Amino acid sequence: MSKKIYLDYAATTPVDPRVLKVMLPYFSEKFGNTMSLHSFGQEAKQALEESREVVADLIKAKPNEIIFTGSATESNNLALKGVASTRRSLSEGGHIIISQIEHPCIMESAKWLESQGFEVTRLKVDKYGLVDPDDVGKAIRKDTILVSIIHASNEIGTIQPISEIGKICKEKGVYFHTDAAQSFGKIPIDVNKMNIDLLTASSHKMYGPKGAASLFVGEGTKIEPILHGGGHESGLRSSTVNVAAIVGFAEAVKICKKEMKKENLREIKLRDKLIKGVLEKIPNSYLNGHPQKRLPNNANFWFEFVEGESMVIQLDLLGIAASTGSACSSVKLEPSHVLLAIGLKPYQAHGSLRLSLGRWTTEKEIDYVLEVLPKIIKKLRKISPFKKI
Amino acid sequence: MTKIGLYTEKVMEHFKNPHNMGRIKNADGIGKVGNIICGDVMWLYIKVGKDKRGREIIKDVKFETYGCVAALATSSVITDLVKEKPLEEALDFDRQEIVKELGGLPPVKIHCSVLAADALYEAIYDYFKKQKREIPEKLLKAHQRIEKDKKEIEKRYKEWIKIEEEMYKKR
């Protein structure tokens, strides 16, 4: 196969050409500042507000509940630090609950808040990466201000019982935030039915451009900004608005909404073919995450006696883009905290491989992966001093 | 040197087609270093012979490695660098030679070159030991350092597991 095969859609997605087309006028023609009173500014302002309606509509929120930001990392920082700030200014301190498998931007924000005097509980997950809603209920204390649980894992794709967790938080009167960067636009979300107070979404994970994301902040939810300035986004995110990116984000949302059902079925079929094929063809291979409660586009494995970085580079040499949670591939030389949290030993996490599918993944591509991956693993195992399998 | 992503072309060449891969049956010395717990594992096999002048040389050398691209490339390149080398010279092997030969390594991967050099020292140590010969001081020191490192990693790992377990208990 001469064409490159991209199976790292969970890292980022290409911008859909339909999205790009809608964005282009907003660079040089409709370039106005949304805060300007003249027609240039008002044109941009209108595009911004229309985009807000589109993004809100996908999760059954009201337009005034959507705050546009620059990245999911920013949205997550705003959710945690913004809610924490409402307490801290009153010197109340507070307790925050997250899970052990959050994205680093939640993990690190929580760690920083800990250094500022907040207490953090990190909930355990089961071997599939699922949080037990009962654990959330048990962990909530009088001074708990926020529960933040990732909707779908960026690494292993496990989808959390968000509705149950939301219900418990509502009953106990605690804010519930979910990082939906991987699930937004891919699976249905209803912030009302799911009792969500805050929700993070990202444009570049769903065929929109980088540099646009959003935070849903339910009406009445108390939150302070972390960026102060000209008062953009209802005062919650001062910064000149990146209109082109946000218009692209909204167009991406429209497409995802329209095609979600069909695309989900298509991706699930391909994903399951990939999972089945890998587990059948490769000895001592295991699936990470839940067999059913997982994102339609995520497959994550670990292979005994194979190191992840070597696997990813071998695949890359054959034109296949994938990802690993191996320590050797990380800056800190530590294995993925998500894989350790689901009970993998460090050496097992070293052998992990994530293949994430997307809009342009074809069956032919999956067949090709199933043809070459067993050979790569066989080769790497042959080089290793361990049991020959 | 041209780089392809993280690694130099030379690293990638060795990664794609490793030299002297496999094991030597009835090896005269085997160096086993690294730890699967923390990542890379290298086993280096040597066969010792004599050259025309009667000096002991590394007649043959092979490796088996589990690890990342850098671990595989450093294993492969060290076999090239020490093959046919007098044992005496190999004792003075400098790991910088590996980095130089590969045209550089990313800073986080330098430890792979340390591991490869250690595998060589351990293989020669094993040879001397099997021969019941007096072990040169330099080699003995290297061996002691490697053993110490090994124990420390195991200790650190055990402590880490302990901390994790306690964290779980607290909840």
CATH classification at residue A39: 3.40.640.10
Q: Please check whether residue A389 lies inside any domain of the structure.
A: no
Query: Smallest Cβ distance to A307: which of B7, B21, B67?
Result: B67
Q: Please check whether residue A222 lies inside any domain of the structure.
A: yes
Per-residue pLDDT for chain B (171 aa), expressed as one digit of tens each?
566 678 999 999 999 999 999 999 999 999 999 877 667 899 999 999 999 999 999 999 999 999 999 999 999 999 999 999 999 999 999 999 999 999 999 888 888 899 999 999 999 999 999 999 999 999 999 999 999 988 887 777 676 666 555 655 554
For residue A333, give both structure tokens. Answer: 């030389």
State whether A244 and A284 are in the same domain.
no
State whether A374 and A343 are in the same domain.
yes
Does residue A101 contact residue A238 with C-beta atoms inside 8 Å? no
Number of domains in chain A: 2
How confident is the model at residue B171, as a pLDDT? 42
If DSSP states are collapsed to H, E and C, what string results for B113-152?
HHHHHHHHHHHHHHHHHHCCCCCCHHHHHHHHHHHHHHHH
How confident is the model at residue A325, as a pLDDT? 84
How confident is the model at residue B36, as a pLDDT? 73
State whether A224 and A351 are in the same domain.
no
Q: Is B112 a catalytic residue?
A: yes
Give the Cα separation of A259 and A36 in Å (integer). 36
Q: CA-based angle B142:B143:B149, to the nearest 5?
A: 90
Query: Smallest Cβ distance to B171: which of A124, A310, A345?
Result: A124
Domain endpoint, select from A192, A226, A255: A255
Query: Smallest Cβ distance to B69: which of A310, A345, A386?
Result: A310
* A and B: number of Cβ contacts within 8 A: 70
Question: CB A310 to CB B72 under 8 A?
Answer: yes
For A274, the enclosing helix (H) or strand (E) is helix A243-281
Could you report the per-residue pLDDT of A76-112, keeping only the tens digit for each?
A: 999 999 999 997 655 577 999 999 999 999 999 999 9
* Residue that wins the pLDDT comparison between A90 and A349: A349
- Nearest Cα of chain B lies from the Cα of A350 at a distance, in angstroms, of 7
Candidates B38, B108, B161, B163; catalytic one: B38
Candidates B112, B117, B124, B146; catalytic one: B112
**pTM of this structure:** 0.92
Could you report the per-residue pLDDT of A53-68, keeping only the tens digit for each?
A: 999 999 999 999 999 9
How confident is the model at residue A335, as a pLDDT? 86
State whether A271 and A211 are in the same domain.
no
State whether A89 and A162 are in the same domain.
yes
Interface test with B, best of A131, A311, A328, A375 (most B CBs within 10 A): A328
Could you report the per-residue pLDDT of A168-192, keeping only the tens digit for each?
A: 999 999 999 999 999 999 999 999 9
Q: Please check whether residue A333 lies inside any domain of the structure.
A: yes
Q: Please check whether residue A197 lies inside any domain of the structure.
A: yes
State whether A371 and A310 are in the same domain.
yes
- Which residues in chain B have their CB less than 8 angstroms from residue A309's CB? 68-69
Q: Please check whether residue A148 lies inside any domain of the structure.
A: yes
Question: Which domain does B110 fall in, by range?
Answer: 3-170
Interface test with A, best of B69, B75, B160, B169 (most A CBs within 10 A): B69
Residue of B nearest to A386 (CA): B66
For residues A351-380, average pLDDT: 97
Residue of B nearest to A350 (CA): B39
Give the Cα separation of A243 and A45 in Å (integer). 8
- Nearest Cα of chain A lies from the Cα of B21 at a distance, in angstroms, of 7
How confident is the model at residue A36, as a pLDDT? 97
Question: Which domain does A318 fall in, by range?
Answer: 5-12+260-383
Q: CATH number of the domain at A295, please.
A: 3.90.1150.10
How confident is the model at residue B165, as a pLDDT? 59
Query: Smallest Cβ distance to A333: which of B7, B108, B168?
Result: B108
Neighbour-count burial of A75, counting CB atoms closer than 10 A to its CB (0-12 exposed, 13-18 middle, 19+ buried): buried
For A217, the enclosing helix (H) or strand (E) is strand A213-217
Q: Please check whether residue A224 lies inside any domain of the structure.
A: yes
Does residue A331 contact residue B108 with C-beta atoms inside 8 Å? yes
State whether A245 and A265 are in the same domain.
no
Residue of A nearest to B169 (CA): A124
- Please state, as a whole number, how many other Cβ atoms lie within 10 Å of the Cβ of residue B126: 20
Whole-number average pLDDT of chain A: 95
How confident is the model at residue A87, as a pLDDT? 79
State whether A249 and A319 are in the same domain.
no
Neighbour-count burial of A136, counting CB atoms closer than 10 A to its CB (0-12 exposed, 13-18 middle, 19+ buried): buried
Does residue B46 contact residue B23 with C-beta atoms inside 8 Å? no
Q: Which residues pair with A320 in a beta bridge?
A: A5
pLDDT category at A302 given cuts 50, 70, 90 is very high
How confident is the model at residue B152, as a pLDDT? 82
Does residue A101 contact residue A123 with C-beta atoms inside 8 Å? no
State whether A221 and A288 are in the same domain.
no
A352 part of contact set with chain B, CB < 8 Å: no
For residues A9-17, average pLDDT: 97
For residues A239-257, average pLDDT: 98
Question: CB B39 to CB A383 under 8 A?
Answer: no
Q: Is the predicted pLDDT of residue A333 greater than 90, yes or no? A: no
pLDDT category at A378 given cuts 50, 70, 90 is very high
State whether A160 and A232 are in the same domain.
yes
Number of domains in chain B: 1
Domain endpoint, select from A198, A229, A255: A255
For residues A346-365, average pLDDT: 95
Query: Smallest Cβ distance to A313: which of B15, B39, B40?
Result: B15
- Which residues in chain A have their CB less than 8 angstroms from residue B37's CB? 345-347
Q: CATH number of the domain at B75, please.
A: 3.90.1010.10
Q: Please check whether residue A379 lies inside any domain of the structure.
A: yes
Strand A213-217 and strand A198-202: pairing? antiparallel
Domain endpoint, select from A255, A278, A308: A255
A121 part of contact set with chain B, CB < 8 Å: yes
If phi > 0 it is left, if psi is from -120 to 50 it is alpha, else beta; for residue A351 that is alpha
State whether A275 and A246 are in the same domain.
no
- Nearest Cα of chain A lies from the Cα of B55 at a distance, in angstroms, of 30
State whether A191 and A231 are in the same domain.
yes
Q: Is B38 a catalytic residue?
A: yes
